[in-house]
Structure 1
Amino acid sequence: MAKTVTLRLSDSAYEAVKRYADADRTSMNTWIEGVLDVEDMRRRCDAHDRWMQQHPESVAFSEAWADRNLGDLGER
């Protein structure tokens, strides 16, 4: 379900977002959603990196599995 979030921007931040959105020829809402999507992906990648550092045995297993799959593809 979609949620609505209201952002309150200072006048200078509003003008900056408006400039960037205009430069991209998109609406301010679409431009902000893109920025939030990028931030969300950055946070997910950081969390994944932390998990991988805490579970080296799982990482090693996954790498071995991937290498085996690549080897199988080379034989086809």
Structure 2
Amino acid sequence: MAKTVTLRLSDSAYEAVKQYAEADRQSMNAWIETVLDAEDMRRRCEAHDQWMREHPDVAAFSEAWADRNLDELTKR
């Protein structure tokens, strides 16, 4: 089920979003969704990086696994 979130922007923030959206030829809603998606991805990547730093053995195993997969692909 979709949820609606209401953002309250100051007049200057509203005008800035409006200008960016118009420059990208998007609706303000679509432009804001794009910004939020990018921010969500940035935060997820940051959390993944932190987890990998806290679990170096798992990171090393993953890198070795990936290397083996690449080696297999080059043999084909």
Under TM normalisation by the shorter chain, which class is it?
A: over 0.9
Match of 1:21, as an amino acid? A
1:74 Cα deviation from its structure 2 partner: 1.4
Aligned to 1:65, the other structure's residue is in SS state helix
CA deviations 1:17-75 (Å, max 9, x no partner) are 00010111110000000000010000000000000000000000011111111111111
Give 5+ residue unaligned stretches, structure 1: none
> C-alpha distance in 1, partners of 2:22/2:74?
48
Percent pairwise identity: 78
Alignment pair present for 1:69 and 2:69: yes
Say how many residue pairs are matched: 76
2:5 corresponding residue in structure 1: 5
1:21 corresponding residue in structure 2: 21
Alignment pair present for 1:59 and 2:59: yes
Q: Normalized against structure 2, the TM-score is what?
A: 0.96
Q: Normalized against structure 1, the TM-score is what?
A: 0.96
Give 5+ residue unaligned stretches, structure 2: none
1:39 corresponding residue in structure 2: 39
The list of structure 1 runs, each at least 4 consecutive aligned residues, that deviate by more than 4 angstroms after superposition, is none
Match of 1:4, as an amino acid? T
